[in-house]
Structure 1
Amino acid sequence: MILEGTVLRGPEFEPIEGRVVVEDGEITALEETTARSNDVILPAFVNAHTHIGDSIAKEAGEGLDLDELVAPPDGLKHQLLRAASRDEMVAGMRHSLEYMEQSGTAACIEFREGGVEGVDAIRDAAAPLDVEPVVLGRETVDAMEASDGFGASGARDGEFGRERNATRDAGKLFGIHAGERDSHDVNPALDLDPDFLVHMVNTEPLHLERVADNEVPIVICPRSNLVTNVGFPDVAELAEHTTVALGTDNVMLNSPSMFREMEFTAKLGDVSAREVLKMATHHGAKIADLNCGVVEPGRDAKLLVLDGDSHNLVGAQNVVRAVVRRAGVSDVKDVVLEKSA
């Protein structure tokens, strides 16, 4: 497979005219040459924080606060999940995963409720698709063992020491929500030595020092944070201290669109479009230990092709800025999610 156009090359997304050669699911060559197309070729997205089980309850809970919406065990989300059948949940999750795939998302890091059964359900939902969910089980060590790691709700909801130790012993990924409602659970979360933190809207200087000293990545979900009225993360300050990735959070609150998340972050956060594109691609891939998120030889062929001649993108003077602040699903020409041989 050969893709031609403006290629956003390497970790800095340098726009070059050229072509990308793909063989057996891997980028084998990147050639700077005259292209016969105005397509824009970039890495497919990695959505670094999702809860897609609540795809059955989009836009439910108007007027409820964060705890009433999603706090375990009796937030509205958990009530609706308990009431839904397995078939309903699998069908809802498949719709969300299909949307991710069609809109250029190669993988998501999913905090999966429902124990082992919940892990099995998302595996079934994803089975016919090319998008790859990195599934972090919740609630039990058994769910962690059946998945790719453990996704903790937050240090205010439990101690999680046993689960953290078991996850570490299994060599798997451990993530935890922190600093969402307030800053009180950040230090206890950091005490668990997590592989990454989610949200970090409410932080103090000591927290950021600990994050930097221990090189703990952070996943931010700005649209979700405003919907739940907990504030907007200081994106620039977080990025000064550590690796920051982007996630869309609960499907009941927001569409799993990385285009929308990028535009929102770029226009409200004091960071460059290039930095936001990093957050949406290789920073998430780095957290999940995936070999994608960059267009360069040796990487997995997880690529997004945008139509540079679309009504929305034609005439763009700054390609990276246009991709981040302007592009959308209607500009997607192709999504390449090749699997390695």
Structure 2
Amino acid sequence: MIIIENAKILYGEDMDAIKANIVIEDDKIIEITKDKIKNGKKIDASGCIAAPAFINSHVHIGDSIARDVGDGKTIAEIVKPPNGLKHRILEESNPDEIISSMRQSMGDMLASGTTTFVDFREGGLEGINLLEESSKDIPIRKIILGRDNSFFDPDVENGEIKSITKKLLRSCDGIGLSGFGEIRDEVVALISKICQKHGKISAIHTAEYEELQNDSIALTGKSEVQRAVEADLTNLIHVTAPVGDDLKLISDRGSSVVSCPRSNGTLSVGIPPLNDMLKHKINVLLGTDNIMFNSPNMLREMEYALKVTRGYYREYFSPTEIFKMATINAANAFNLNTGCIKEGNTADIIIVKEFSNNPILSLINRTNPDDIISLITEGNIIY
């Protein structure tokens, strides 16, 4: 049994700050109490914040092999499949080097308080196996969204798509598609339907920048968001450039949006309209996206997201909303028993030095990995 004593806890889905002790047993939070607990391994968290650990809802961890490559090139030159710079590097790299670089990135995530990540896994079954191999003995939770290069083939038959998708889903948690510029709508809809049938996640990069939206409307008469909603996908990545009724369509469908503000900034494609998304009651998550140009550090992602949103709208934006995007919103989207500190949840908790009277703003603005006193994931103390 582990007892976190005297902490200022961000409690429940509303992240209310309360002073109490947390009792952990068999991977679960079994009690939150102001009473002293006599027996168990104790962590003195006086002067600290106990917060839910972070969920990175969109990352390309294979990009770890190509850090800081391609700066100054266009987004299509860098990441567009199947011939973008990163895809060529992945094809040419030794598997052992890819595994080593991914392990380093997982260590970086744990060191900055992330205990769960959602990976868009390139390379079909081989890519999934590389990630499984690289994560051995690392206490981090993976949600793997696979894909196969056959999805890009304009002449691929529906029967082949069905077969490959079903085979992938035996080894991963869903399918993560690149975008409508590379995949036919009927293929996207078919994959989404198969994922639904198997209770798996279906996701796609959508409306990342204006040019994609303009091309989609010119080609089909519909925005990328309209096409994604019609395909009934569960998660839309980016939606940095919505048009018309896009946000209402997402809200009505109930899809989650994974926003990646630092990636959008790095690639000069825009600022995600987070406030408008929340006004439409969309479940918004945060991801760090391509590791080749962004560290997988959710603290940095939250700080950038908060400040750029306030600058974009020129009005106050609550840090609590940003914090929820990295915790409870993601847990709800992926049906995880984590994301907030409450009785019955899996014990994924970070304990961090407190720097101000506003604990959430303190975490977002002030914290770096050296300030994390302890990281507990599934009841095990890692640091």
User: What per-residue deviation string (whole Å, max 9, x for no partner) do you get for residues 228-269 of structure 1?
Assistant: 111010111112220101000010010000000000011111
Picking from 11, 14, 17, the partner of 1:12 is 14
Q: 1:202 and 2:241 equivalent? A: yes
- Structure 2 CA distance, aligned partners of 1:228 and 1:71? 13
What one-letter code is carried by the residue in structure 2 that aligns with 1:328?
N
Q: Which residue of 1 aligns with 2:98?
A: 89
- The C-alpha deviation readout for 1:135-176, integer Å capped at 9, x for no partner, is 000125133332110001112211222322221222111111
Give the fraction of aligned pairs with identical amino acids, expressed as a percent.
33
Query: What is the CA-CA distance between 1:285 and the residue it aligns to?
Result: 1.4
Q: Take 1:250 and 1:298, find their aligned partners in 2: how far apart are those partners?
A: 34
Structure 1 residue matching 2:181: 3-state secondary structure: helix
Candidates 71, 77, 83, aligned match of 1:68: 77
Identify the range of structure 1 (219-228 vs 97-106) with the bigger mean alpha-carbon deviation. 97-106
Aligned to 1:245: 285
1:55–1:93: 8 Å Cα contact kept in structure 2?
yes
Q: 2:340 aligns with which of 282, 285, 294?
A: 294
TM superposition shift of 1:321: 1.1
Residue equivalent to 1:279 = 325
Question: Are the aligned partners of 1:221 and 1:246 in contact in 2 as well (CA < 8 Å)?
Answer: yes
Instruction: Note if contact 2:25-2:379 (Cα within 8 Å) is conserved in structure 1.
Output: no
- Is 1:50 aligned to residue 59 of structure 2? yes
Partner of 1:305: 351
User: What SS does the corresponding residue of 1:96 show, helix, strand or coil?
Assistant: helix
Q: Amino acid of the residue matched to residue 365 of structure 2? A: R
Q: RMSD value over aligned CA atoms?
A: 1.5
Does the C-alpha gap of structure 1 residues 132 and 293 become closer, same or farther in structure 2, counting only changes over 3 Å?
A: same
Q: Measure, in 2, the Cα distance between the counterparts of 1:151 and 1:7.
A: 35
Cα deviation 1:13-32 (Å, max 9, x = unaligned): 11111111100000001114
2:303 counterpart of 1:263: yes
Contact 2:4 2:22 in 1 (8 A): yes
Deviation at 1:33, TM superposition (A): 5.7
Q: Is this contact kept in 1: 2:189–2:232, CA < 8 A? A: no
How far, CA to CA, are the matches of 2:346 and 2:203 in structure 1?
A: 24
Deviations 1:163-214 (A, max 9, x none): 2222122211111110102233221122111111010000023111111111
Ranges in structure 1 where 5+ consecutive residues have no aligned partner: none
Could you give the per-residue CA deviations for residues 36-56 of structure 1, whole angstroms, max 9, x where no partner exists?
Answer: 711210000000000010101
Report the counterpart of residue 256 of structure 2 in structure 1.
217
1:227 aligns with 2:266: yes
**Inter-partner Cα distance in structure 2 for 1:213 and 1:256:** 31
Moved over 4 A (4+): 33-36
Which residue pairs with 1:2 in the alignment?
A: 3
1-structure distance, mates of 2:4, 2:198: 39
Query: Is the contact made by 1:263 and 1:324 (CA closer than 8 Å) also made in structure 2?
Result: yes
Letter in 2 for 1:265: A
Cα deviation digits, residues 252-304 of structure 1 (max 9, x gap)? 01000000000001111142110011001111111221100000001000111
Which residue does 2:370 correspond to in 1?
330
CA shift in 2, pair 1:302/1:331, >3 Å: same
Kindly indicate whether the alpha-carbon contact (under 8 Å) linking 1:109 and 1:288 is maintained by their aligned counterparts in 2: no
State the match for 2:23 in structure 1: 21
Residue identity opposite 2:370 in structure 1: S
Give the stretch that moved more between structures: 166-175 or 32-41: 32-41
TM norm structure 2? 0.84
Instruction: Select the structure of larger CA radius of gyration.
Output: 2
Q: What is the number of residues matched between the two proteins? A: 334
2-structure distance, mates of 1:66, 1:145:
32
Unaligned regions of 5+ residues in structure 2, if any?
A: 37-43, 149-163, 217-223, 311-316
What residue number does 2:192 align with?
Answer: 164
Code of the aligned partner of 1:151: G
* Residues in 2 aligned to 1:205 and 1:289: alpha-carbon distance in whole angstroms: 30
Structure 1 letter corresponding to 2:328: H
Letter in 1 for 2:250: V
Distance in 2, Cα, partners of 1:25 & 1:225: 36
